[in-house]
A = this chain, B = another copy of it.
Amino acid sequence: MLRFIAVLLLFVLAQPDASAQTIQSPNKVLTLTFALTRDGTPTYRLWRGDKVVIALSKMGLTLKDQPSLTEGFRFAGGEQIKRDERWEPVWGERSLIRNAHTELRIRLEQPEQKGRMMHIVFRLFDDGLGFRYEFPEQDNLRYFTVSDERTEFKLTGDHKAWWIPGDFDTNEYSYSESKLSEVNAEIGKNVREIYSKSVLGPNFVQTPLMMKSAEGLYINVFEAALVNYPAMAVEIDKASFTLRSVLAPDAVGNKAYMQTPCRTPWRTIIVSDKATEILASNIILNLNEPSVIEGASAWLKPMKYVGIWWEMHVGTATWNYADVNNVRLGETDWSSLKPNRKHGATTARTRTYIDFAAKHGFDGVLVEGWNVGWEDWFGNWKEEVFDFVTPYPDFNVVELQEYAADKGVKLIMHHETSASVTNYERRLDTAFQFMKQYGYDAVKTGYVGRIIPRGEQHDGQWMVNHYIRVLEKAARYRIMVNSHESVRPTGLHRTYPNWIAAEAARGNEFNAWSIGNPPAHETILPFTRLMGGPMDYTPGIFQIKMNAYDPKKKEQVHTTLAKQLALYVTMYSPLQMAADLPENYEKHFDAFQFIKDVAVDWEEKKVIEAEPGDYVTIARKAKGKDAWFIGAITDENPHRASVPLNFLDASKKYVATIYGDAKDAHWEMNPMAYTVAPWVVTSATILDLALAPGGGAAVHIRPATERELFMYGKY
**C-beta contact mask, A451-484 vs B, less than 8 Å → 1, else 0?**
0011110000010010001000000000000000
Asked if A251 and B422 sit within 8 Å, CB to CB, the answer is: no
Chain B residues with CB under 8 A of A326: 137, 142, 259-260
Asked if A325 and B454 sit within 8 Å, CB to CB, the answer is: no
Question: In the docked arrangement, what's the CA distance between A252 and B469, Å?
Answer: 25
Across the A-B interface, the 7 shortest Cβ-Cβ residue pairs? A453-B453, A251-B455, A251-B251, A143-B380, A455-B455, A252-B455, A251-B454
Chain B residues with CB under 8 A of A328: 259
Question: Is A429 part of the binding interface, using a Cβ–Cβ cutoff of 8 Å?
Answer: yes
Question: In the docked arrangement, what's the CA distance between A422 and B451, Å?
Answer: 14
Chain B residues with CB under 8 A of A456: 251, 453
A residues 135-180 touching B (CB-CB < 8 Å): 137, 142-143, 145
Which single member of B137, B251, B254, B465 contacts A453 (CB below 8 Å)?
Answer: B251
* Copies of this chain in its oligomeric complex: 2
- Known A142-B325, A325-B142: A259·B454 in contact at CB below 8 Å: no
30 residue pairs from A and B, CB less than 8 Å apart:
A142-B325, A143-B376, A143-B380, A143-B381, A143-B382, A145-B381, A250-B454, A251-B251, A251-B252, A251-B453, A251-B454, A251-B455, A251-B456, A252-B455, A254-B454, A257-B382, A257-B383, A259-B326, A259-B328, A259-B382, A260-B326, A383-B465, A422-B453, A425-B425, A426-B426, A426-B469, A453-B454, A453-B462, A454-B455, A455-B455
* Nearest CB of B to A670, in Å: 46
A residues 230-287 touching B (CB-CB < 8 Å): 250-252, 254, 257, 259-260
* Nearest CB of B to A325, in Å: 6
Question: In the docked arrangement, what's the CA distance between A142 and B327, Å?
Answer: 10
Given contacts A422-B422, A453-B455, A454-B462, 11 further A-B contacts (CB under 8 A): A142-B325, A143-B376, A251-B252, A257-B381, A259-B328, A259-B382, A383-B465, A425-B425, A426-B469, A453-B462, A454-B455
Question: In the docked arrangement, what's the CA distance between A325 and B260, Å?
Answer: 11
Chain B residues with CB under 8 A of A254: 454
**C-beta contact mask, A379-390 vs B, less than 8 Å → 1, else 0?**
011110000000
Chain B residues with CB under 8 A of A383: 257, 462, 465
* Central interface residue in A143, A254, A382, A428, by most chain B CB within 10 Å: A143
Question: In the docked arrangement, what's the CA distance between A145 and B251, Å?
Answer: 18
Question: In the docked arrangement, what's the CA distance between A257 and B429, Å?
Answer: 26
Chain B residues with CB under 8 A of A422: 422, 425, 453, 462
Question: In the docked arrangement, what's the CA distance between A328 and B428, Å?
Answer: 23
Main secondary structure of the interface of A (DSSP, over half): loop
* Central interface residue in A137, A260, A380, by most chain B CB within 10 Å: A380
Question: In the docked arrangement, what's the CA distance between A382 and B257, Å?
Answer: 8
Chain B residues with CB under 8 A of A469: 426
**Looking across the interface, which residue of chain B has its beta carbon closest to that of A456?**
B453
Chain B residues with CB under 8 A of A251: 251-252, 453-456
Chain B residues with CB under 8 A of A462: 383, 422, 453-454
Chain B residues with CB under 8 A of A429: 429
- Known A137-B326, A257-B382, A260-B326: A252·B454 in contact at CB below 8 Å: yes
* Nearest CB of B to A433, in Å: 11
* Nearest CB of B to A263, in Å: 14
Question: In the docked arrangement, what's the CA distance between A346 and B486, Å?
Answer: 45
* Nearest CB of B to A251, in Å: 3
A residues 409-449 touching B (CB-CB < 8 Å): 422, 425-426, 428-429
* Nearest CB of B to A319, in Å: 18
Question: In the docked arrangement, what's the CA distance between A382 and B142, Å?
Answer: 12
* Nearest CB of B to A359, in Å: 42
* Central interface residue in A382, A422, A428, by most chain B CB within 10 Å: A422
**C-beta contact mask, A636-671 vs B, less than 8 Å → 1, else 0?**
000000000000000000000000000000000000
* Nearest CB of B to A477, in Å: 15
**Looking across the interface, which residue of chain B has its beta carbon closest to that of A252?**
B455
**Looking across the interface, which residue of chain B has its beta carbon closest to that of A451?**
B453
Chain B residues with CB under 8 A of A382: 143, 257, 259
Question: In the docked arrangement, what's the CA distance between A135 and B700, Å?
Answer: 63
* Central interface residue in A254, A259, A429, by most chain B CB within 10 Å: A259
* Nearest CB of B to A105, in Å: 22
Question: In the docked arrangement, what's the CA distance between A626 and B642, Å?
Answer: 101
Question: In the docked arrangement, what's the CA distance between A250 and B469, Å?
Answer: 25
* Central interface residue in A142, A145, A251, A260, by most chain B CB within 10 Å: A251
* Nearest CB of B to A143, in Å: 4
* Nearest CB of B to A425, in Å: 5
Question: In the docked arrangement, what's the CA distance between A307 and B455, Å?
Answer: 40
Question: In the docked arrangement, what's the CA distance between A131 and B337, Å?
Answer: 34
Question: In the docked arrangement, what's the CA distance between A401 and B100, Å?
Answer: 56
Asked if B259 and A380 sit within 8 Å, CB to CB, the answer is: yes
Chain B residues with CB under 8 A of A137: 326
Question: In the docked arrangement, what's the CA distance between A579 and B20, Å?
Answer: 63
Question: In the docked arrangement, what's the CA distance between A250 and B251, Å?
Answer: 10
Question: In the docked arrangement, what's the CA distance between A454 and B462, Å?
Answer: 10
Question: In the docked arrangement, what's the CA distance between A428 and B383, Å?
Answer: 18
Chain B residues with CB under 8 A of A428: 426
* Nearest CB of B to A225, in Å: 18
Question: In the docked arrangement, what's the CA distance between A139 and B252, Å?
Answer: 35
Question: In the docked arrangement, what's the CA distance between A454 and B380, Å?
Answer: 21
Question: In the docked arrangement, what's the CA distance between A381 and B254, Å?
Answer: 12
Question: In the docked arrangement, what's the CA distance between A254 and B453, Å?
Answer: 13
Question: In the docked arrangement, what's the CA distance between A426 and B424, Å?
Answer: 10
Question: In the docked arrangement, what's the CA distance between A426 and B383, Å?
Answer: 15
**Looking across the interface, which residue of chain B has its beta carbon closest to that of A460?**
B454
Question: In the docked arrangement, what's the CA distance between A493 and B252, Å?
Answer: 33
* Nearest CB of B to A256, in Å: 11
Chain B residues with CB under 8 A of A257: 380-383
Question: In the docked arrangement, what's the CA distance between A278 and B259, Å?
Answer: 50
* Nearest CB of B to A255, in Å: 12
Chain B residues with CB under 8 A of A259: 326, 328, 380, 382
A residues 324-354 touching B (CB-CB < 8 Å): 325-326, 328
Question: In the docked arrangement, what's the CA distance between A422 and B142, Å?
Answer: 23
**Looking across the interface, which residue of chain B has its beta carbon closest to that of A250?**
B454
Chain B residues with CB under 8 A of A455: 250-252, 453-455
Question: In the docked arrangement, what's the CA distance between A259 and B379, Å?
Answer: 13
* Nearest CB of B to A187, in Å: 24
